[in-house]
């Protein structure tokens, strides 16, 4: 029995495997030779699980400052507190930290002591979501793999703040206050291994400049983007998942082959101002065009190959791979045109 695996799901699995290691995996891989070398003191405000000696749980404690972190700790949970400052005195002994969760506190840039983050040489994951930051904190640990800064008040990205973060695979800046002027041509310079960039829910009117070339997932939902520049995606040839929902894209704002890109497998253009389906590539697997202004669908026009050729596909032919097509919220009336089904033989769902 032949097992057919959907290309997009397989790719998503591989991508997540690269940049998301579980706590258990990191613990096993990096476990010190003898935990007995460390004392097992526990700050009175926190919980130290005996079965997980290198984790410290200080979340939901009403803390206003970070306690002194013991030397053995690798995973530090401080979310849902009232913390305003991040000072060096809390981390004097914490030389093994890999993971810090400071989400949902009251941290400002002024409350982060100068250089305190960059001194955490082994830190891989830094979560500072839902705080009161007005700019990306700097300097940052050079070994970071994930940086999550969603739902702050960030309007500024200091020059060169990412220049040494060659290991960073995920950067989340969604739901901040970024304008086009905050994203210069060198803003993301140095992020050579970035795979996911999330700048959704900001105040962008243009596509951001100089996206790192290895980016696989680019999320730009809920901005005010009107135009896709000519050949924009040639600079990010690996982009696979592209989200541009809730923008202001019209037919005139998309170049003739703007989305005819072989690397893109999942394209989301919901809640824009399109009146027709833009040209797509035969490799595309998921297309979201709901809640636009599209009145009709012509399979002959949108098919990546000629319909006459599509009718003669062999089993191993270069058949268009579209599996999911969403068109609801437009002005399209059923039934689905027959030429759509002739072209896209792999379609599993069409929503009108």
What domains are there in the chain, each with its CATH number? 226-351 (3.80.10.10)
Contact (CB, 8 A) for 321 and 282:
yes
Out of 4-13, 91-100, 113-122, 327-336, which region has the weakest mean confidence (pLDDT)? 4-13
Strands annotated E in the chain: 55-57, 75-77, 99-101, 125-127, 146-148, 170-172, 196-198, 217-219, 241-243, 266-268, 286-288, 324-326, 349-351
Residues 6 or more apart in contact with residue 309 via CB below 8 angstroms: none
% of the chain at pLDDT higher than 70:
86
pLDDT score recorded for residue 22: 38
Mean pLDDT to the nearest integer, 142-157: 98
Bridge partners, residue 350, by sequence: 325
Mean pLDDT to the nearest integer, 118-134: 98
The phi-psi region of residue 31 (left if phi > 0; otherwise alpha if psi is between -120 and 50; otherwise beta) is beta
Q: For residue 307, is pLDDT > 80?
A: no
Q: What is the C-alpha radius of gyration for the chain, rounded to an integer number of angstroms?
A: 24
pLDDT score recorded for residue 119: 96
Cα–Cα distance, 198 to 99 (Å, whole number): 20
Q: Phi and psi at residue 186, in whole multiples of 5°?
A: -110, 10
Mean pLDDT to the nearest integer, 145-166: 97
85, two tokens: 């400052």
pLDDT score recorded for residue 311: 57
pLDDT score recorded for residue 72: 95
Mean pLDDT to the nearest integer, 306-327: 73
Q: For residue 316, is pLDDT > 70?
A: no
pLDDT score recorded for residue 301: 86
- Whole-number mean pLDDT of the chain? 89
Out of 159-173, 218-232, 302-316, which region has the weakest mean confidence (pLDDT)? 302-316
Q: With bands split at pLDDT 50, 70 and 90, how would you rate the model's confidence at 20?
A: very low
Q: With bands split at pLDDT 50, 70 and 90, how would you rate the model's confidence at 275?
A: very high
Torsion of CA 212, 213, 214, 215, to 10 degrees: 60
Mean pLDDT to the nearest integer, 232-244: 97
């Amino acid at each position: 029995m032949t097992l057919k695996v959907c290309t997009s799901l397989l790719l998503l699995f591989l991508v997540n495997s690269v940049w998301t290691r579980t706590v258990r995996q990191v613990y096993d891989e990096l476990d010190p030779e003898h935990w007995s070398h460390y004392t097992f003191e526990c700050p009175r405000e926190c919980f130290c699980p005996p079965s997980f000696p290198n984790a410290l749980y200080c979340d939901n404690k009403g803390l206003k400052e970070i306690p002194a972190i013991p030397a053995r700790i690798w995973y530090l949970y401080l979310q849902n507190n009232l913390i305003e400052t991040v000072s060096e005195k809390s981390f004097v002994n914490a030389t093994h930290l890999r993971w810090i969760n400071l989400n949902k506190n009251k941290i400002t840039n002024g409350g982060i002591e100068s250089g305190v983050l960059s001194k955490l040489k082994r830190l891989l994951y830094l979560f500072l979501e839902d705080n009161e930051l007005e700019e990306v904190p700097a300097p940052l640990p050079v070994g970071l793999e994930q940086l999550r800064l969603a739902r702050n008040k960030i309007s500024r990205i200091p020059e060169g703040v990412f220049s040494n973060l060659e290991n960073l695979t995920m950067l989340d800046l969604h739901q901040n206050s970024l304008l086009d002027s905050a994203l210069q041509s060198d803003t993301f310079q140095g992020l050579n291994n970035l795979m996911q960039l999330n700048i959704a829910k900001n105040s962008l009117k243009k596509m951001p400049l100089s996206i790192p070339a290895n980016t696989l997932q680019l999320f730009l939902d809920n901005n005010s983007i009107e135009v896709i520049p000519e050949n924009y995606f040639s600079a990010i040839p690996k982009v696979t998942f592209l989200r541009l929902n809730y923008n202001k894209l019209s037919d005139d704002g998309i170049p003739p082959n703007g989305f005819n890109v072989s690397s893109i497998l999942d394209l989301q253009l919901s809640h824009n101002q399109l009146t027709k389906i833009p040209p797509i590539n035969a490799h595309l697997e998921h297309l979201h065009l709901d809640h636009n202004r599209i009145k009709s669908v012509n399979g002959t026009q949108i098919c990546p190959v000629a319909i006459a050729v599509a009718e003669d596909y062999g089993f191993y032919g270069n058949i268009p791979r579209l599996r999911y097509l969403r068109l609801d919220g437009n002005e399209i009336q059923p039934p689905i045109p027959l030429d759509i089904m002739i072209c896209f033989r792999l379609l599993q769902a069409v929503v009108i």
